[in-house]
Amino acid sequence: MEEPIGKLPNPLENSKPSTENLVSRKRKNDEVEPEITEKPAQELKRTKKLKWEKFVGKRAEGSVEHATYFTQDECKAYSEELHEQIEYLNPEETCVSVYGKNYNLPHDKALYGDKGLEYKQAKRSPIACSDWCPVLLKLKAQMEALQNCKFNMCILNKFDDGDNSMGVFAHDEEDVDQSVPIVSISFGGRRDYKFKPNNNKEDTFNIPIKDGTVVVMHDPMQRNWKHAVPKRKKEKSQTLIVIFRSVIIEDEEDQNQDPSDS
């Protein structure tokens, strides 16, 4: 569950630290397949020459790497498609409960994924993911090729300006597959990821994100660290962060099994 954001002390500057295609709510099925078959995975890998920066935790195990992955032209095109295709949840669906009182998130959220997947929230009802839309399928294919893995869920956080923020958070829900990295793509204004370990304050660090930045969080980052997107008062532009992850799907056969049979 996302927690209210607090002040993070002493950031370290510049740390080096097979499913079917689904129908979008706005696109017909025959528009989806061409979007994800534009380039083979291996070709996608070869077209990007990246300079990665990496942070590796010492007292708290975990690693994060980041690079500017998309060009300005690519960012502009993807931002326009995302604006046209993404539908955001109502604030009532995403509010968080703190000491029995509900608070709206200081940003907009959208959820997409494979058919039947749900986003599970602590102490709240799960939210059904929307079917994949064409632009997310294109981005997913590139990130899967980059990391040689498969994603089945996407979380989108939209920050209208620097007054919007995201509280301290970790992708540590029980159904999240920690063997698959968490990959985020940033489009729009400049923001920061603030990371802090669960067991000390000294190792806190900061990763600046901007238009086209890809951040990859490797296991056991979610087990040992939390991250936030704090306010950035001087930022007037909108920022959209697209996060891909994989959740473990319980076998339908196991779900239907009679407990007396085991």
Q: Is 157 annotated as a binding residue?
A: yes
Q: Is 177 annotated as a binding residue?
A: no
Residue 220 burial (CB count, 10 A): 15
- How many angstroms separate the CA atoms of 241 and 245, rounded? 13
Q: Is 227 annotated as a binding residue?
A: yes
Q: Is 66 annotated as a binding residue?
A: no
Give the annotated binding-site residues: 157, 172, 227, 245
Give the annotated binding-site residues for 2-oxoglutarate: 157, 227, 245
Give the annotated binding-site residues for substrate: 172
